[in-house]
């Protein structure tokens, strides 16, 4: 499916959904880190410290993925400009 906008060239719908993908990835990685931390807290009796650490590690992983995707998109954009 191709969408058209008057101010931009036609784009694939999957390109439009990339920002939604990044948001979902950030939320899921944070929740996974929280869940692992919660489980480890129950195992070691350290509530709430490992849950807090797991949440931050998960969020950091999500942000690193966002940075990686944005760098790839920037490189694609530079290559496209060089070709034209």
Residues facing residue 3 across a β-bridge: 11
What is the C-alpha separation between 76 and 17, in angstroms, rounded?
17
Per-residue pLDDT, 33: 98
Which of the four pLDDT bands, split at 50, 70 and 90, describes residue 5? low
Per-residue pLDDT, 7: 57
Contacts of 72 by beta carbon, 8 Å cutoff, 6+ apart: none
Per-residue pLDDT, 47: 94
Q: Tell me which H or E stretch contains 78.
A: helix 49-83
CB 59 within 8 A of CB 8: no
What is the DSSP-derived secondary structure letter of residue 84? -
pTM given for the model: 0.79
Which of the four pLDDT bands, split at 50, 70 and 90, describes residue 3? low
What is the C-alpha separation between 82 and 5, in angstroms, rounded?
24
What beta strand segments (E) does 1-84 contain?
A: 2-5, 8-12
pLDDT digits (tens, 9 = 90+) for 13-58: 666 677 888 999 999 999 999 999 999 999 999 999 999 999 999 9
């Amino acid at each position: 499916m191709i969408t058209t906008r008057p101010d931009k060239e036609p784009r694939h719908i999957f390109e439009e959904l990339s920002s939604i993908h990044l948001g979902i990835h950030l939320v899921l990685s944070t929740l996974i880190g929280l869940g692992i931390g919660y489980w480890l807290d129950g195992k070691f009796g350290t509530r709430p410290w490992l849950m807090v650490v797991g949440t931050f590690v998960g969020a950091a992983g999500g942000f690193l993925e966002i940075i990686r995707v944005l760098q790839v998109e920037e490189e694609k954009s530079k290559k496209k400009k060089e070709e034209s």
